[in-house]
Amino acid sequence: MRKIERLLESQALVEMLMRIDEQQTEIQRLVGLAEEQAHQLEGLRKRQRDLYLDGDRRLRELEKSVAGMSASTVSVVQSGAAAGAAQQLAPPGGALSATPSASMANANDSEQETRDYEQAFALLKDGRYEQAIPAFRQFLTKHADGKLANNAQYWLGEANYVTRQFAVAAEEFKKVGTLYPHSAKLPGALLKLGYTYYELQDWVQTRQALEELVQRFPQSSAARLAKNRLQRLKSEGH
């Protein structure tokens, strides 16, 4: 009888060890799956960031091109007008010399603004978000009325979002709309504002930002993403 009991105990122990081994195998499989999904998620985040950065670069190139064309047109018109005026008024020598100097100063300011922006932008592109944040803040202090200020304001919000400083990010994204209401970055800022409030679990503000985006910019790619997030809110019961 005792021998049978030992045999049964041995069989039970073997079965228990087999179950433990199966559970360990399943745990390893789940851990591997989680790691794979985390890697895929990081890849998606990087791709999204690269798309944002590339879009920003293309937009700035387009703005430069349009500005260059406008400047050339104005220069031709002004040259013709200046020639006619010179013939009629014949001002003393050197009276018009201030205009080229002012133009040169404006050009230098614009070049410095571009350099400062690209330095901050490079930090963001390299993933050095903690350094990009003060760089963009310094840029906005120095070039508050510059042509790239609206872009810098958006990327300041983005840098805070990526570093999970969501309360700060929300304030920075809102400034895009309040300070630069005609910015091409506004649809993206509203989208990320909605995403930020989602991370803060402020469902009312999330819905408000995303619905404003869909209403104001219905044809934008940002609006499509906003609709997806609104649907997700609904499915989650928020």
Indicate which CATH number applies to the domain containing 135. Answer: 1.25.40.10
Is 3 a domain residue? yes
Percent of the chain's residues with pLDDT above 90: 51
Q: How does pLDDT run across 154-185, given as a tens digit for each residue?
A: 999 999 999 999 999 999 999 999 999 999 99
232 located within any domain:
yes
Q: How many domains does the chain have?
A: 2
For residues 235 and 134, membership in a common domain is answered with yes
Residue 105 above 70 pLDDT?
no
Q: Check: pTM over 0.95? Answer yes or no.
A: no
Within a domain: 76: no
- Shared domain for 121 and 23, answered yes or no, is no
Q: Is 83 inside a domain boundary? A: no
Higher pLDDT: 63 or 142? It is 142
pLDDT band at 27 (very low <50, low <70, confident <90, very high): confident
Same domain, 120 and 230: yes
Question: Which range in 20-24, 77-81, 91-95, 118-122 is most confidently predicted, on average pLDDT?
Answer: 118-122
Rounded mean pLDDT, 134-148? 95
What residues make up the domain containing 195?
112-238
Dist. CA 197–CA 161, nearest whole Å: 11
Encode 112-136: b = buried (16+ Cβ within 10 Å), e = exposed: ebbebbeebbebbbeeebeebbebb
Instruction: Mention every residue, 6+ apart, whose C-beta is less than 8 A from residue 216.
Output: 187, 190
Pairwise CA distance, residues 132 & 155, whole Å:
9
In a domain, residue 176? The reply is: yes
**Residue 134 parent element (H or E):** helix 129-142
Q: Do 114 and 139 touch, CB atoms closer than 8 A?
A: no
- pLDDT on residue 5: 59
pLDDT of residue 2: 60
Q: Is the dihedral of CA 11, 15, 20, 24 positive or negative?
A: positive
Query: Is 58 domain-assigned?
Result: yes
- Give rounded-to-5 percent helix, strand, coil for the chain: 85, 0, 15
Q: What is the pLDDT of residues 204-238, one digit of tens each?
A: 999 999 999 999 999 999 999 999 999 999 999 99
Instruction: Give the pLDDT band of residue 106 (cuts 50, 70, 90).
Output: low
Residues 121 and 49 in one domain: no
How much is the pLDDT for 205?
97
Judge whether 69 lies within some domain.
Answer: no
Look at residue 110 in the predicted model and tell me its pLDDT: 78
Does residue 54 sit in the same domain as residue 170?
A: no
In a domain, 35, yes or no: yes
Q: What is the mean pLDDT of the chain?
A: 79
